[in-house]
């Protein structure tokens, strides 16, 4: 009886797992199929494997450039968030002035305001600044984010200020205390923040889409979405492009699963 129960449990577990991973497995399989093969179920199992679609994309399309753009923008935004979220979080956590109360309230407020309200003005702002369709448009608005500030602030408040005070008595300057003493202590939460920011940026579509129009600054998700429906591209190549967008995320997820999960739940539960 107990055995049957266990067996049923695993059947259910694997059934759901199948539903959850099938679309991604399908993507990889189709991306490795020769162009022109039909995507029928039989072909999924029997068609030969080839990397030709990937080679085609890198030689005949701009995908290398899109990939570079995604990585470049992602890295700068991530570094920006590590430094600036940390600085702001430190101010809110340690300096107890009224101005910081105001700051904190603004952080919470921004968290709740739906992002669609800034679509049109953001577009106009970038056009008026003359940075529409440039890296600046993709980077500047996202160098610091309220969720990140909140996450780091919670962490800093859990660190006893004794070390900072000792350093202050020894005559260390504020900047030195901040970056040499507190920042290293915050490594775990900053790692979580970095992963979250990079992922969000890597997958982001709406703003990169409305703020760019040329291939030279276009990121991977935007390029993929616009490729679809082109006469010149078939599903095999489209799925190879999609796989290129997914593989880095998969690798990071496998290596850093623990940090990713803790980032989600730390941002989530406050009881």
Partner 1 sequence: MKQKKTTALFLALPWIVTLLLFWLYPIIYSFIVGFTDKQLLSKTFQWVGFDNYKALLSDDSFLLALKNTAIFVVGTIPLTTIIALLLALLVNKQFKGRGLFRAGYFLPSITSMVVIALIFTNLFQRGGYIALLAEMLGFTPPQHGFLLDSSTALFSIMAMDVWMAVGYYMLIFLAGLKSIPQELYEAARIQGAGSIRQFFSITLPLLKPVALFILVINSIKSFQVFVEIFVMTQGKFETSTMVYFIYEAGLTTKFNFGYASAAAYILFLIVAVFSFMQFRLLKNRGTV
Question: Which one of 8, 11, 12, 255 is in contact with partner 1 (CB under 8 A)?
Answer: 12
Contact 98, 165 (CB under 8 A): no
Contact 10, 32 (CB under 8 A): no
Q: Tell me the closest approach of the beta carbon of residue 198 to partner 1, in angstroms.
A: 11
Question: Which one of 97, 157, 166, 216 is in contact with partner 1 (CB under 8 A)?
Answer: 97
Tell me, by CB under 8 A, how many residues bind partner 1: 77
Window 27 to 56, contacts with partner 1 (CB under 8 A)? 27, 30, 39, 41
Question: Which residue's CB is nearer to partner 1, number 53 or number 91?
Answer: 91
Q: Which two tokens stand for residue 102?
A: 């105001």
Look-up: residue for tokens 């989600």? 264
The yes or no reply on residue 20 touching partner 1 (CB under 8 A) is yes
Window 152 to 171, contacts with partner 1 (CB under 8 A)? none
The yes or no reply on residue 135 touching partner 1 (CB under 8 A) is no
The yes or no reply on residue 15 touching partner 1 (CB under 8 A) is no
Contact 86, 144 (CB under 8 A): no
Residue 238: C-alpha distances to residues 148, 183, 208, 216, 258 (Å): 34, 42, 20, 20, 31
The yes or no reply on residue 19 touching partner 1 (CB under 8 A) is yes
Q: Please compute Rg for the chain using Cα positions.
A: 23
Question: Which residue's CB is nearer to partner 1, number 50 or number 100?
Answer: 100
Q: Which two tokens stand for residue 58?
A: 């890198």
The yes or no reply on residue 247 touching partner 1 (CB under 8 A) is no
Question: Which one of 75, 120, 163, 255 is in contact with partner 1 (CB under 8 A)?
Answer: 120
């Amino acid at each position: 009886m107990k055995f049957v129960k266990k067996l049923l449990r695993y059947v259910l577990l694997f059934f759901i797992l199948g539903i959850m991973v099938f679309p991604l497995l399908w993507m990889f399989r189709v991306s490795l199929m020769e162009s022109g093969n039909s995507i029928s179920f039989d072909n999924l199992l029997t068609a030969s494997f080839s990397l030709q679609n990937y080679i085609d994309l890198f030689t005949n399309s701009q995908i290398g450039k899109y990939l570079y753009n995604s990585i470049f923008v992602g890295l700068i935004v991530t570094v920006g968030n590590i430094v600036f979220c940390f600085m702001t979080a430190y101010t809110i956590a340690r300096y107890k002035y009224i101005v910081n109360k105001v700051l904190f309230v603004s952080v919470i407020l921004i968290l709740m305001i739906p992002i669609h309200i800034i679509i049109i003005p953001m577009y106009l702002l970038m056009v008026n600044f003359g940075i529409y369709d440039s890296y600046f448009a993709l980077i500047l608005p996202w160098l610091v984010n309220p969720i990140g500030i909140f996450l780091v602030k919670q962490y800093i408040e859990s660190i006893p200020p004794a070390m900072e005070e000792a350093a202050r008595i020894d005559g260390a300057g504020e900047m030195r205390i901040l970056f040499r003493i507190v920042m290293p202590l915050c490594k775990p939460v900053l790692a979580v923040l970095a992963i979250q920011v990079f992922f969000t940026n890597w997958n982001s579509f709406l703003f990169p889409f409305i703020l760019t129009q040329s291939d030279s600054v276009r990121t991977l998700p935007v390029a993929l979405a616009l490729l679809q429906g082109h006469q010149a591209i078939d599903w095999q190549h489209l799925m190879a492009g999609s796989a290129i967008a997914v593989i880095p995320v998969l690798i990071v997820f496998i290596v850093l699963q623990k940090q990713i999960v803790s980032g989600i739940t730390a941002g989530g539960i406050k009881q």
